[in-house]
A = this chain, B = another copy of it.
Amino acid sequence: MIDASLIAGISATVVSFVVGYTIAKLPRPGAGSTGSSENQSSTDEGTDKMFADMGGEYKMVLVVRNDLKMGKGKIAAQCGHAAVGAFESGLHNTPKAIRKWQNSGQAKIALKVESEVALMEIYRSAKANKLNCCMIRDAGRTQIEPNTKTVLAVGPAPVVAVDSVTGHLKLL
């Protein structure tokens, strides 16, 4: 005959394993914030799945303000900020799309806009289309005024989705 407390013990053991595993897998709030960037913060599994299912090529676009006349070193650093910021928020918001982008060569394309107004238009359009994105404001230690918006990263996402908001822009 099986002891009732043995059954209870086994049940508790199994439940405990599952609880421990689940707790460990919970996303940590706060991990991944950066001082100077604005990311979309809500995980959107529906959007992620849709982007992952769209197939085709994936890319990340770096939209650079050309009117600021930044030197190429400054552009390089700002694009580094934007790419890392979008990668990090993408890991949280659209992990499936990030994985597909990584497996297809991590394409990155730099495009240009000629004003802050044009940059903000792309930003609003990207958010309206649920695209992962990251806006960089410069700390203003060199070359430009503090808090100037310099670069917007859009994606990684399917090329067709990114092109729907940045397709009209020219290469930097």
Contact = CB atoms under 8 A, between A and B. Distances in A.
A80 B77 contact: no
A37 to B, nearest CB: 9
A147 to B, nearest CB: 14
Contact of A75 (B16, B36, B72, B105): B72
A25 to B, nearest CB: 5
Interface in A61-99: 62, 64, 71-77, 79-84, 87-88
A22 B25 CA distance: 10
A85 to B, nearest CB: 8
Given A20-B20, A73-B109, A84-B106, 7 more contacts: A9-B12, A24-B25, A73-B111, A76-B110, A79-B83, A80-B80, A81-B83
A80 B108 contact: yes
A6 interface: yes
A8 B39 CA distance: 49
A50 interface: no
A5 B16 contact: no
Number of copies of this chain that the complex holds: 2
Q: Is the interface on chain A under 10, 10 to 19, 20 to 34, or 35 or more residues?
A: 35 or more
A118 interface: no
A111 B10 CA distance: 61
Contacts of A120: none
Interface string A5-35: 1101110111111111111110000000011
A3 interface: yes
A54 interface: no
Nearest to A4: B5
A73 B108 CA distance: 10
